[in-house]
Copies of this chain bind each other. A is one copy, B any other.
Amino acid sequence: MPETARLSGNRYGNRPTMKDVAARAGVGLKTVSRVVNGEPGVTPETERRVQEAIEALGFRRNDSARVLRKGRTASIGLVLEDLADPFYGPLSRAVEEVARAHGALLINGSSAEDPDREQELALALCARRVDGLVVIPAGDDHRYLEPEIKAGVATVFVDRPAGKIDADCVLSDNYGGARDGVAHLVAHGHRRIGFIGDMPRIHTAAERLRGYRAALEDAGIPVADAWMSLGVTTPERVRRAAEEMLSGPEPVTAIFTGNNRVTVTVIRVLAEHARRVALVGFDDIELADLLQPGVTVVAQDAAALGRTAAERLFRQLDGSLVVPERIELPTRLITRGSGELPPAD
């Protein structure tokens, strides 16, 4: 029985296809296609019959097949570090909104800060033939994307620049922001200012460190190694680093923290600490205004990063963009109290 053979195909649920709809409506395959896509050239009567068959069978167009034929998938990929991080939520949402405005869906994946996983994800997305790729780099070598980009996959890097290839980047002004933040502490009389941040291997961390150094240099303050703690990631290590800076013969009177996770941990340490220590953090954190004192931060606009990147991506797809560019978005110093505390010694 060939009928049964066809029905027991490889699809689990055996969805009806245009062929089935056509058979039921007693029309040709292409006519169904026309109705489904709202193309002109179908009599109202024929259209009604087709619609009826569609209803009855519960037909839904298979976009996978459509995509195969048309060449564009109307979907874009987003590779980020961790969707659960409050910084990436708004970014991701902003990318999604732009995609939606262009009729595209968003596929996203978390690299967990692992370069191999970033590559695996990005290439998997390319295999799905996403039209474009927004990448928040975990690694620093993106040559693996060269064939893809050459093949027409629009690509924009966000938050951190691409490594070893020439591509569009949308970044925050990490250097300037950190410099401003630290200068703010200097302006309030601090001379011994600590820095706790990520590994300088990560571009943003390196830039913020550079800003920190520049601000101290501007003020003619020599930088002590004991004030800097780089590459600490776990809360325990951040805690230890902070406590070390705050003890000893020449403790710091202020701390500049390199990202939101570090900031939160340092707030906890300072809350238990007797002496009042000033704090400025990179990245805004929720409820920062309600703490005692409010937390002064250098805020990035995560949504703007995502939006800008996605818009650029679609302009690449339009063909209206050719030359890769590096865009830097400004940061904003938000004073809330913790950064305005005077030195406690």
A58–B106 CB distance below 8 A: no
Q: A13-B152, A65-B68, A291-B287 are in contact. Are A105 and B125 (CB under 8 A)?
A: yes
Instruction: Please report the C-alpha to C-alpha distance between residue A67 and residue B58 in the assembled complex, in whole angstroms.
Output: 21
Closest partner residue, chain B, to A129 (CB atom): B64
Q: How many residues of A contact B (CB 8 A)?
A: 65
CB 8 Å contact bits of A127-149 with B (1 = contact, 0 = none):
11100000000000000000110
A15's partner among B13, B88, B151 (CB-CB below 8 A) is: B151
CB 8 Å contact bits of A54-72 with B (1 = contact, 0 = none):
0000101111110111111
B291–A71 CB distance below 8 A: no
A267–B286 CB distance below 8 A: no
CB of A73 within 8 Å of the partner chain: yes
For the residues of A in contact with B, the DSSP-based class is mixed
Instruction: State the number of copies, please.
Output: 2
A128's partner among B71, B90, B105, B125 (CB-CB below 8 A) is: B105
Q: List 19 A-B contacts (CB under 8 A).
A: A10-B70, A12-B152, A13-B151, A58-B148, A60-B126, A62-B129, A63-B124, A63-B128, A63-B129, A64-B64, A83-B89, A84-B89, A86-B86, A89-B89, A105-B107, A264-B287, A268-B290, A285-B286, A287-B288
